[in-house]
């Protein structure tokens, strides 16, 4: 959309801009199909994002004397309104949309509905438009005239109070005038420690922490929960809030995450719309333009307060800055061996993401990292349209006794830099024939060097690669835990040692719809091996700052700090309790604020306070930790197989072909997360005319299985649905490379690798975001052996003598150890979790800040189950 060339002192009004958007939408006419309109929405959203980028460079105080500022705000507003009208009004009127919504049969229709829902979700979760709308409102000509009416002299302010609007941003002059002539209650919406250090000097002022209230709180809950530890004087002032002429809220406007600004908007709305105990009929709720920094910058009066009521806060609270101050990394607080001090911070770290500390203090063998930022809108769109199951990361073997015995972390795989690239199996040098080794002797990934056992070459053909267990040594890294076994034991399937658990129990504070994050953190901490490497800080030696997709260790660092804080807080609460703790409450909970900020800095989806899907967060967290710890993250990407090589691979049994593909995959993706959580499945297309097959092998860390419709079903029914042969519809048919045209075809998924810890996502939401609340029965012990590809016919490719099994030896029996539950809808629900903590607590129920022991071991079998966590049992081999 072209910008206006006229410089104006004011914006067009919202009404005028909406008329422009209406005109644009009407010009399209009514002949477009759904696909064309969706593409138009995407293109317009990209334009909207480009305008938002321009706005970000001006920050929260744009130079309003610059005409370009007005033009950019207007353009962004119009672009957003165009998409909104197309998505919410025009597209739903299309017969094609109605048909696809009611009965989406083809993959094309399902894809269009999925894209439409993604656009709706993007509009609902957009955080920038509220600022744009406010700017337009404040700077349009009609609003400017209204604002001038509010700029009366002191003696007229009370008389014109009715002209003031709730949520209006006051200038410094207006606030100063109000403080001199009216009864004003100031609310400092910043962390308590910052309030104690300095705040606006006035008698009627209170502090409300930005993370102390939820979106759905009422004024009563503010007193009962948010002000529970506040001085009595502040509680009394808030109780008398209806006796003030104005309530003015100010916060930290320099917060680059915009968290404080979002909380300010929520608090204004809460006081205006949810003041049930004392409705604010004669009281206006306003904010301070530019926040506390603007007040200080213009030499407003401030004071530092430490009364007898407040002096204790300095010890109890260590609240970090929300915004990164630099790109450095901070060393997490060491785990103290003594807990004589009764005061332990409720926050996940004492310094915010990116505190100014050299990286050598954290990762002594690494270089200074740069914080990775979120991708563009186009990349976001493409990522949503990808497969639901994305890759995770490898794991380690469990130790025999709290990692008393250890082995060196496997060498980093390296791709061959030279050597022949062979395109057929016949060119390979034969080796002494051996059967597939029953157990991998090492966790090392394949080292492709051109002079060892042959296999599929990573660069697209079949070539020499080392699938044996003899690897040359490189730089030794510090030990990570695996159990020590003798050579004779390694030749036979070994039972997995009994699962240990991280037994500490502590709640997590909900930071505004962050229950999706809390439930996944609790569940993942039930994975003992994962929890332990972050508690003993051994993960630091394996952060790969050269990993192309990693966050340079940021996510891993703040996850480790959160785990440390949770354990310390749990031990402290247990030590101060006379009896053994069987439940937890709000006072003992940890606020994972810095971890959430770190997640939001990496992926903007988790930046605000909107509800998200917990399985998406689980996938994000596992992917992020994997990339941070990926020893092969700097290796070049694998090339696709040549057509000839793919034909040869299709002749192999799936057991062998999948093993070769896994070895190729490990040359670019090799970390502790892969070994702990990652599996693999094969998706095979087959032409029903000529019989030609094409198989792709997909790694996964969260396996999403469909939930059949009905009154109830078993988890095995979900796996049967997942692995059944699917006949492709006419417009979804495969273009057979043999027949050279689209032919009737089938698709079948087969699980080819089952991981050490299996995370199952029950796909309860359809393409229209409708939820299937059917009760899915799932057992404490699950046998998946029958779903594992076991078609080995005794034949190996020419020249291949041995392939490491890497734990893929049946049976595949699993024990349930955690359940993430979901209540309500995708946008208005709540998440909780059950977790087996082992002796003495057993199964426990976690609901944000609170936790309790489960009433029985069967309480975790529930109709609200959404994500299930299983681990291999002792009679299974890994």
Query: What amino acid positions are annotated as catalytic residues?
Result: 515, 830
Closest Cα partner for 58 from 49, 45, 68? 68
* Residue 765, helix vs strand vs coil: strand
Alpha helix positions (H), 465-592: 487-490, 515-524, 528-535, 554-576
On whether the CB atoms of residues 194 and 205 are closer than 8 A, the answer is no
- Radius of gyration (Cα) for the chain, nearest Å? 30
Q: Which helix (H) or strand (E) holds 712?
A: strand 712-714
Residues 6+ apart with CB under 8 A from 26: none
On whether the CB atoms of residues 197 and 188 are closer than 8 A, the answer is no
Q: Which two tokens stand for residue 761?
A: 């996502």
Q: Which two tokens stand for residue 755?
A: 């991981």
* Residue 265, helix vs strand vs coil: helix
Closest Cα partner for 238 from 260, 270, 194? 270
Query: What is the β-pairing status of strands 454-456 and 462-464?
Result: antiparallel
* Residue 574, helix vs strand vs coil: helix
189-224 b/e (C-beta count within 10 Å ≥ 16 → b):
bbbbbbbbebbbeeebbbbbbbbbbbbebbbebbbe
Please give, one letter per residue, the 3-state secondary structure of 501-513.
CCCCCCCECCCCC
Closest Cα partner for 375 from 604, 560, 192, 183? 604
Q: Which two tokens stand for residue 445?
A: 């990934």
Q: Hey, how many other C-beta atoms are within 10 angstroms of the C-beta on 134?
A: 14
On whether the CB atoms of residues 483 and 405 are closer than 8 A, the answer is yes
Region of residue 769 (phi > 0: left; psi between -120 and 50: alpha; otherwise: beta): left
Q: Hey, how many other C-beta atoms are within 10 angstroms of the C-beta on 95?
A: 9
Q: At what angle do helices 14-27 and 129-139 cross, to 10 degrees?
A: 120
On whether the CB atoms of residues 304 and 207 are closer than 8 A, the answer is no
On whether the CB atoms of residues 132 and 80 are closer than 8 A, the answer is yes
């Amino acid at each position: 959309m072209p910008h206006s060339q006229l410089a104006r002192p004011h914006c067009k009004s919202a009404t005028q801009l909406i008329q422009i958007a209406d005109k644009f939408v009407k010009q399209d006419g009514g002949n477009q199909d759904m696909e064309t309109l969706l593409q138009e929405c995407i293109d317009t959203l990209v334009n909207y994002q480009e305008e938002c980028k321009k706005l970000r460079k001006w920050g929260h105080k744009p130079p309003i004397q610059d005409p370009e500022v007005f033009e950019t705000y207007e353009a962004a507003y119009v672009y957003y309104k165009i998409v909104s009208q197309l998505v919410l009004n025009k597209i739903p009127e299309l017969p094609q949309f109605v048909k696809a919504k009611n009965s989406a049969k083809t993959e094309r229709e399902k894809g269009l509905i999925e894209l439409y829902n993604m656009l709706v979700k993007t509009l609902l979760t957009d955080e920038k438009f509220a600022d744009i709308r406010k700017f337009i409102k404040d700077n349009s000509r009609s609003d400017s005239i209204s604002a001038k009416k509010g700029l009366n002299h002191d003696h007229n302010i009370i008389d014109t109070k009715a002209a003031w609007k709730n949520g209006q941003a006051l200038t410094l002059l207006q606030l100063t005038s109000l403080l001199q002539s009216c009864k004003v209650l100031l609310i400092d919406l910043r962390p308590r420690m910052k309030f104690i250090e300095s705040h606006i000097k006035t008698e009627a002022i209170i502090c409300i922490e930005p993370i102390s209230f939820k979106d759905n709180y009422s004024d009563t809950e503010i007193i009962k929960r948010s002000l529970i530890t506040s001085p009595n004087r502040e509680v009394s002032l808030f109780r008398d809030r209806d006796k003030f002429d104005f309530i003015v809220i100010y916060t930290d406007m320099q917060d680059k995450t915009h968290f404080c600004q979002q909380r300010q908007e929520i608090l204004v709305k809460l006081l205006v719309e949810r003041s049930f105990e004392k409705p604010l009929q004669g009281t206006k709720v306003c904010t301070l333009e530019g926040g506390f920094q603007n007040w200080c910058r213009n030499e407003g009066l401030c004071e530092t307060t430490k009364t007898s009521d407040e002096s204790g806060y300095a010890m109890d609270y260590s609240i970090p800055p929300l915004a990164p101050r630099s790109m450095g990394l901070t060393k997490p607080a060491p785990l103290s061996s003594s807990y004589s001090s009764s005061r332990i911070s409720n926050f996940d770290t004492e310094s915010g993401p990116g505190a100014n500390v050299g990286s050598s203090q954290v990762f002594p063998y690494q270089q200074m990292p740069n914080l990775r930022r979120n991708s563009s809108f186009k990349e976001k769109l493409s990522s949503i349209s990808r497969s639901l199951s994305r890759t995770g990361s490898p794991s380690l073997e469990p130790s025999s006794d709290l990692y008393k015995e250890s082995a060196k972390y496997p060498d980093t795989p390296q791709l061959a830099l030279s050597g022949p690239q062979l395109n057929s199996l016949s060119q390979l040098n034969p080796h002494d024939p051996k059967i597939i080794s029953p157990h991998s002797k090492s966790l090392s990934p394949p080292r492709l060097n051109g002079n060892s056992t042959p296999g599929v070459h990573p660069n697209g053909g079949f070539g020499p690669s080392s699938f044996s267990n003899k690897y040359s040594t490189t730089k030794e890294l510090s030990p990570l835990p695996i159990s020590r076994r003798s050579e004779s034991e390694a030749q036979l399937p070994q039972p997995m040692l009994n699962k240990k658990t991280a037994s500490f129990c502590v709640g997590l504070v909900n930071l505004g719809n962050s229950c999706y994050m809390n439930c996944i953190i609790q569940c993942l901490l039930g994975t003992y091996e994962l929890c332990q490497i972050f508690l003993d800080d051994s993960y630091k030696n394996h952060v790969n700052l050269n990993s192309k997709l990693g966050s340079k260790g940021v996510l891993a660092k703040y996850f480790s700090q959160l785990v440390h804080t949770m354990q310390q807080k749990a031990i402290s609460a247990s030590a101060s309790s006379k009896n053994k703790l069987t439940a937890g409450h709000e006072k003992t909970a940890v606020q994972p604020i810095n971890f959430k900020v770190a997640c939001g800095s990496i992926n903007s989806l988790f930046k605000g306070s909107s509800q998200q899907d917990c399985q998406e967060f689980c996938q994000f967290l596992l992917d992020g930790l994997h990339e941070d710890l990926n020893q092969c993250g700097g290796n070049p990407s694998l090339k696709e197989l040549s057509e000839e090589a793919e034909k040869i691979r299709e002749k192999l049994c799936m057991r062998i072909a999948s093993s070769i593909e896994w070895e190729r995959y490990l040359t670019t993706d090799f970390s502790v997360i892969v070994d702990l959580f990652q599996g693999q499945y094969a998706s095979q297309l087959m032409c029903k005319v000529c019989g030609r097959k094409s198989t792709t092998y997909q790694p996964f860390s969260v396996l999403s299985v469909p939930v059949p419709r009905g009154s109830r079903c078993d988890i095995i029914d979900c796996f049967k649905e997942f692995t059944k042969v699917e006949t492709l519809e006419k417009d979804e048919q495969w273009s057979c490379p043999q027949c050279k045209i689209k032919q009737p075809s089938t698709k079948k998924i087969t699980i080819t690798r089952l991981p050490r810890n299996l995370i199952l996502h029950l796909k309860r939401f359809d393409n229209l975001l409708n939820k299937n609340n059917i009760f899915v029965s799932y057992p404490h012990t699950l046998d998946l052996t029958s779903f594992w590809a076991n078609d080995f016919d005794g034949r190996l490719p020419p020249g291949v003598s041995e392939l490491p099994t890497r734990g893929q030896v049946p049976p595949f029996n699993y024990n349930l150890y955690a359940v993430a539950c979901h209540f309500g809808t995708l946008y208005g629900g709540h998440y909780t979790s059950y977790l087996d903590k082992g002796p003495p607590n057993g199964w426990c129920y976690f609901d944000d800040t609170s936790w309790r022991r489960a009433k029985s071991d069967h309480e975790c079998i529930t109709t609200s189950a959404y994500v299930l966590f299983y681990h291999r049992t002792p009679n299974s081999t890994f």
